[in-house]
Structure 1
Amino acid sequence: MPFFIVAGAVNAAIAVMLGAFGAHGLKDKLSERYLAIWETAVQYQMFHALGLLAIGILASSSIWGASPQLNWAGYLLLAGIIIFSGSLYALSLSGVGVLGAITPIGGVLFIAGWILLIIAAVKG
């Protein structure tokens, strides 16, 4: 599906921009701890952006085609990026520790998305 290809490409571009911003713009403004959290957010955003690209390509292929499991996998990875990486970016910038409590929800969404990709592969 083109949506997931676009969403993956947009998230990959954002991850590169935020990675560069963290490395250059925040290195003197954040503690090592918060800079490491920022880097984790960037890494997970990029990993899952690539997952979105793969889902988009697979959904567009004549071999797999769109399936409910593939669509849900894409939406869950996208929601995971927003919640997981978004909460870590916010935590890094604000220092508000409670934001770290939201992060595992994004992690669960990532796991569910990858499991649905496995199911789509087995069914496909």
Structure 2
Amino acid sequence: MKEAVLIFGGIYGTLAIILGAFGAHWLKSKYAPEQLKSFETGVKYQMYHAIILIICGITFPFLEMMQVLMAYCFIIGTFFFSFSIYGLTWTSSQNRKLKLLGPVTPFGGLLLVIGWILLTINLAEIALYLTP
């Protein structure tokens, strides 16, 4: 699991850079300002979670179910949250907004919140273990 977390962190980080550059240069002329702002939100959250995945991959052994669940929440939540935003902004710019993607974004956000709660619990356990 540790390797998968690090790989997803690296992939999400790489894609965030590519998509951010894509948005800043090519989409700037194709998207309305509101669409571009939404797209940038997806990129930012993707990068934030790429970084936290890499930190978690270095910090945790993923031997406990709570750590594994945390990783899944971050990986799946990032995909649902950011990539649904990309899909919504793209289809909206084509005047064919896919309404079925609408509920996917908050579901991804909920998974990210759960991931952060689990991260906090895991960090608290580490702090308790390290406290003399």
Show CA shifts across 1:68-102 (max 9, x none).
Answer: 21111111001111100011000110011622332
* Matching residue within 64, 68, 72 for 1:67: 64
The match for 2:130 is none
Show CA shifts across 1:38-74 (max 9, x none).
Answer: 00000000001111111101124xxxx6322111111
Cα distance in 1 for partners of 2:104, 2:119 equals 24
Q: Gapped runs of 5+ residues in structure 2?
A: 127-132
The match for 2:55 is 54
Specify the code of the residue in structure 2 equivalent to 1:32. P
The match for 2:112 is 110
Cα distance in 2 for partners of 1:38, 1:81 equals 14
Identity of aligned residues (%): 37
CA RMSD, aligned part only? 1.3
Cα distance in 1 for partners of 2:51, 2:121 equals 19
TM-score, normalization: structure 1?
0.90
Q: Gapped runs of 5+ residues in structure 1?
A: none
Size of the alignment, in residue pairs? 120
TM-score, normalization: structure 2?
0.85
Cα distance in 2 for partners of 1:85, 1:120 equals 25
1:43 aligns with 2:40: no
Cα distance in 2 for partners of 1:93, 1:34 equals 8
1:88 aligns with 2:77: no
